[in-house]
Structure 1
């Protein structure tokens, strides 16, 4: 349910459970975390999803059984955030719940026009993962972060772009070509140069 393609230093990771809106199981989270931890050798990483939804967040059955409070979420997002290479979330559709963590940890976020963004933790009775509000607030400020987390508002791709939560909105057929274009220089660069620039931006 997680596809990994490696192309000359570019790692493309795809959530591939479209029949369940790419909802995340514990096994999928563990696999994603392992990939992110191994990607220290990658020159760039693109994270995307199959189908019309990026991810609905945690698989509800597993969330009720304890996945919602698992440390796998933080392990995954922290591993992505720590990568020295350029990371791009190519959002093929709606992003919900705990799946926000891995996307917020990426360097860049691009989305299709139909994408929506929400994090209904309060309605479900769970706290967000500790790093998620901090990373979102660093991007869009505390008030808008509370709009999403505490007020439970679902925002459109256009609103997300206006907030600074996503960096570009592109049509579905341009999503992966745009993601590839964004990482092209990083893939072509010498590793020390790419790492050096990444460190300057932290």
Structure 2
């Protein structure tokens, strides 16, 4: 349910492929994603995307009730993505919800389809968000809007997400990976140490 393409250019494309379940994430999928991210330190750029009309609905509901909602595998995954030296891009083919938000927040850049919505109903479900998610979200959209999402339970449209700074661009759904590839092109062509140096200077 996780597809990985490793190209000679140094580009890795990681695709959530469980469209029939809105790409909801099981523990096995999260573990595989974490292992991929932990092994991607030689990648020059990594794109995360999904199949269908939803990037990810978050945790698989059955597994969430069985304990996945509070598993440390979410933090393992987002920490591994954040630690990557290459350019990381979340190419959001659709809605981003719940715990899957951490994957996108850990990326350097986020682009999204026009129909995408963004919500994180963790408080309503009776859980705390993963530890790093509120700080990363607040760094992008500010403390008040972070509370609007996490405590107010509000959904953001793609247009609001762009205006708030949660995403960098809105692009046609069928083009999200193509646009992400175009954004990554200069990084793939650069000397790795220069690309890494710029990334470190942008913190």
Q: Distance in 2 between matches of 1:83 and 1:189?
A: 16
Provide the residue aligned with 1:28 in structure 2: 29
Query: Per-residue deviation at 1:198?
Result: 1.1
Q: CA RMSD in A?
A: 0.6
Provide the residue aligned with 1:5 in structure 2: 5
Query: Per-residue deviation at 1:197?
Result: 1.0
Provide the residue aligned with 2:94 in structure 1: 93
Provide the residue aligned with 2:118 in structure 1: 117
Match of 2:124, SS? helix
Provide the residue aligned with 2:56 in structure 1: 55
Q: How many residues align?
A: 202
- Which stretch shifts more, 168-177 or 35-44? 168-177
Query: Structure 2: which 5+ residue stretches go unaligned?
Result: none
Query: Structure 1: which 5+ residue stretches go unaligned?
Result: none
Query: Per-residue deviation at 1:201?
Result: 1.1
Match of 2:59, SS? coil
| 1:147 counterpart = 2:148 | yes
Q: After TM superposition, what 4+ stretches of structure 1 lie above 6 angstroms from structure 2?
A: none
Query: Per-residue deviation at 1:143?
Result: 0.2
How do 1:57-96 and structure 2 match up within 5 A?
A: 57-96=58-97
